[in-house]
Chain A
Amino acid sequence: MSYLEQELRALQASDETVFDFIQESTLAGLWYWNLTGDQEKWATAKFWRSLDYEPDAQFNQAAAWKAAISPEEETATAEYIATSIADHTYSFDQVVQATCHDGSTMWLHCWGLVLRNNLGQPHRLLGVLVDITRQRNEEISAQEVAGHYGAILGNQSVYIIRTDARGNYTYVNDFFYERFGLDSKIIGTSSLMSIIEEDRAKCLVTVGLCFEEPNVPHQVILRKPYHDNAVKSNHWEFKGIVGSNGEVVEIQCVGYDVTLLVDNLERSKQLLALTNQQNARLQNFAYIISHNIRSHSANLTALVKFLQNATDEAQATMFLEMLKTSTDKLAETIINLNEIVTVNNMGLQPKEMRGLRQEVSRTLEAMNVLIHESQLTVTLNIPEEVTVQVVPAYLDSILLNLLSNAIKYRSASASPQLTLDSYREGDYTVLSVADNGRGIDMARNHNKIFGMYKTFHDNEDARGLGLFIVKNQIEAMNGKIEVASEVGVGTTFKVYFSEIV
Chain B
Amino acid sequence: MNHWLTAPILIPLLGGILQVFMGYAPISLRRTLAIATTVLLLVSTIVLVVLASDDSYRLYAFGNWQPPFGIVLVLDRLAALMLVLTAILAIFCHIFAIGGADEGNRQFHGLFLFQLMGLNIAFLTGDLFNLFVAFEVLLIASYGLLMHGGGRARSIPGVHYVVLNLAGSAVFLISVGMIYSVTGTLNMADLALKIPELTGEKMSIVKAGGMMLLVVFALKAALIPLCFWLPKAYANATAPVAALFAVMTKVGIYAILRVYLLVFGDDAGALANLGMDWLFPLALITLTMGVIGALGADNLKTLVAWQVIISVGTLLAPIALGSAAGISAALFYLLSSTWTVGGLFLVAEMIANQRGSARDKIVTAPRMRNRTFLSVLFLIGAVAAAGLPPLSGFFAKLLILQSVLSGSEMAWLWSVVLIGSFFTVIAYSRAGSIVFWRTVDGHIEEPRPLGGNVSVAAGALAGLSLVLVALAGPISEFTDATAAQLLNPGDYLEILKTPMVKGDN
A and B assemble together? no
